Chains A and B, each alone.
Chain A
């Protein structure tokens, strides 16, 4: 199941890389010792205790295997171990980061911009909110389905935060937002393009119209869904939201979610490069090797893995971010799989599907007299499917979503437990019949014991 052939290409690439050091006096680093090999194999045995994330039957949480290109380029960079804080620590990888980030900015419709990679979407969002605090201090609002990081990071930054209700589609409710805008002086609205629970896309294009009226700042959290901008099979509403990204003040996207990268690769972008003034600082020993921009001068983080930039650049080189291109087709396949799963669930009276997926996340529960029993059945199907190697996820669906989606379920509980599947891999489309077969068997087994 684990691809190893490409290690040969890595070996070749290392030979190319070491040519750059050929003028140095001979130096041979110690090879891995026999004891080291044993420890490595022991480590592999310990790592066997994992869900099979790379396999298409892992269809639970948002975990996507990195592309072979990213894995190899990351490993290649580890022989140098560049640090993209300053050019002193990673000259080539800093250049690759700037190129890779510029390509992402172009994807979102930004021309001139300021941006860089980060350890994660959480850190990237922290930074976007930190800049927002400088540029326009005051209340931050995000939908009740936005990632919890926004409320938490506002607490870290000492910024007031409020949640806005969502509509039955799980998107920010525009009427609720406008009510809040009339009541409070809102400084920043966070629009989520692809929230992590449902994949719902906030109506960014409509939020921007409200910005014209009320004058707030707009930050787009596209950590999960950002790359869907390139996909041709979005709904009309989602397409309209994605088409408006160039008008946002800042955007966060996670290459380590849908960008085929290993963990440790988030990205933050600002439409106005002059926000760089908020970062102004000096270091007595860092920024001397070049008058060119050191990435640490425009980042809250200091040491950062240059290998993440190398991996991202190589992946983008192999799979350019073009609308409807090869990379986009991989995302579109996951969305098609999600739509097909949603449709199949709707044709089976044992299931109660939630909203039609806007991206590639499907949520459903089991038919039952009430929410409590539906949730118990969902939990039992989750366990039964896992026994058959199909790994799904669970989600607590709150009101008003549960009432809107499943009005016939007796409201004997505040939340309704549901099954959730993130169909992030292109292979999920081809494996859908197998996924449905296991789901069917698991459900039949559970219901036979009820």
Chain B
């Protein structure tokens, strides 16, 4: 029921957006590790590394989705 095909367009749009910052300096690995303990992965093109969620922390996203599923569901459509 939830459309998520559009995430591909979002991914494309982010690639376009970051072209605007292509001149910014920085090489992969120059970043310090975030204090959150998140891993660092370089994205290559702009030469700056950004934090991403490590696999063990992606479970928070799943837990969150399960919690959000308490929403009103069918009652929304009855309004």
Q: A: which residues have CB within 8 A of B?
A: 1-7, 9-21, 23-24, 27-32, 36-37, 40-41, 43-45, 47-50, 52, 54-57, 67-69, 72-73, 76-77, 79-80, 82, 88, 90-93, 95-96, 310, 313-314, 317-319, 326-327, 329-330, 333, 389, 426-427, 429-431, 434
Contacts and interface: CB of A to CB of B under 8 A. Distances in A.
B61 A48 contact: no
Contacts of A50: 20
Given A1-B43, A429-B32, A12 B61 contact: yes
A389 B25 contact: yes
A28 B37 contact: no
A375 to B, nearest CB: 28
28 contacts: A1-B50, A6-B52, A7-B11, A11-B4, A14-B2, A16-B62, A20-B68, A21-B73, A24-B73, A24-B74, A24-B77, A28-B3, A31-B6, A36-B6, A40-B13, A41-B12, A55-B24, A56-B31, A79-B4, A80-B71, A82-B68, A90-B71, A93-B68, A317-B60, A330-B35, A427-B31, A431-B30, A434-B25
B62 A92 contact: no
A21 B75 CA distance: 11
Contacts of B36: 67, 318-319, 326-327, 330
A228 to B, nearest CB: 14
A330 B38 CA distance: 12
Given A1-B46, A329-B35, A389-B25, A44 B17 contact: yes
Contact count band on B: 35 or more
Contacts of A4: 11, 14-15, 43
Contacts of B72: 88, 91
Nearest to A88: B72
A29 B3 contact: yes
A426 B6 CA distance: 32
B57 to A, nearest CB: 6
A194 B16 CA distance: 37
Given A1-B48, A24-B73, A17 B24 contact: no
A18 B1 contact: yes
